C-alpha cells in the first residue's frame, strides 16, 4: 500500500510580506496536523487488525515473507492480504477433504 502523498506547502518567496508568511505558517501547521492524524490512524488500524487476530493466526501471518515490511510500514492492507491468503488456503484444504469423503463417511485414497 502506498501512503497518501501530502503536499507540503511551498516556502514563501523572500519578498513575501508578513501576511503571506503567516498564511504559509498556517498552511504548514495544517499540513503537519493532517499528516500526523493520518499516521496515527494508520497505526491504530494496523494495531486493531493485529489485536483481533488469534495467537494462532498471528503466528501464521508471521511466517509470511511480507509480514516484516507490513509491520514496519503499519500496512493494514498488506496484513489483510496475508490473512486473505491464509483463509483461502484453509478453504482449499477443506474443499479437497470434502471431495474425498464418500457418502458412508469413509475416506478414499
Interatomic CA distance for residues 75 and 71, integer angstroms: 7
With bands split at pLDDT 50, 70 and 90, how would you rate the model's confidence at 34? Answer: very high
Query: Is 108 inside any structural domain?
Result: no
89 occurs within a structural domain:
yes
Total domains in the chain come to 1
Q: What is the mean pLDDT of residues 27-35?
A: 95
Confirm whether 9 is domain-assigned. Answer: no
Rounded to 5 degrees, φ, ψ at 90 are -65, -40
Q: What is the mean pLDDT of residues 91-99?
A: 64
In this model, does residue 107 exceed pLDDT 60? no
| 1 vs 57: CA distance, rounded Å | 22
**For residue 109, is pLDDT > 80?**
no
Asked if the structure places residue 106 within a domain, the reply is no
Range of the domain at 73: 18-99
Higher pLDDT, 75 or 108: 75
Helix (H) or strand (E) holding 89: helix 76-99
Amino acid at each position: 500500500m502506498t501512503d497518501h502523498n501530502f503536499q507540503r506547502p511551498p516556502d514563501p518567496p523572500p519578498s513575501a510580506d508578513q501576511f503571506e508568511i503567516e498564511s504559509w505558517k498556517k498552511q504548514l501547521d495544517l499540513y503537519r496536523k493532517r499528516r500526523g492524524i493520518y499516521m496515527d490512524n494508520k497505526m491504530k488500524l494496523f494495531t486493531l487488525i493485529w489485536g483481533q487476530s488469534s495467537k494462532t493466526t498471528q503466528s501464521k501471518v508471521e511466517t509470511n515473507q511480507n509480514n516484516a515490511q507490513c509491520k514496519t510500514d503499519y500496512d493494514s492492507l498488506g496484513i489483510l492480504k496475508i490473512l486473505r491468503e491464509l483463509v483461502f488456503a484453509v478453504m482449499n484444504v477443506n474443499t479437497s477433504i470434502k471431495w474425498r469423503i464418500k457418502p458412508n463417511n469413509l475416506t478414499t485414497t
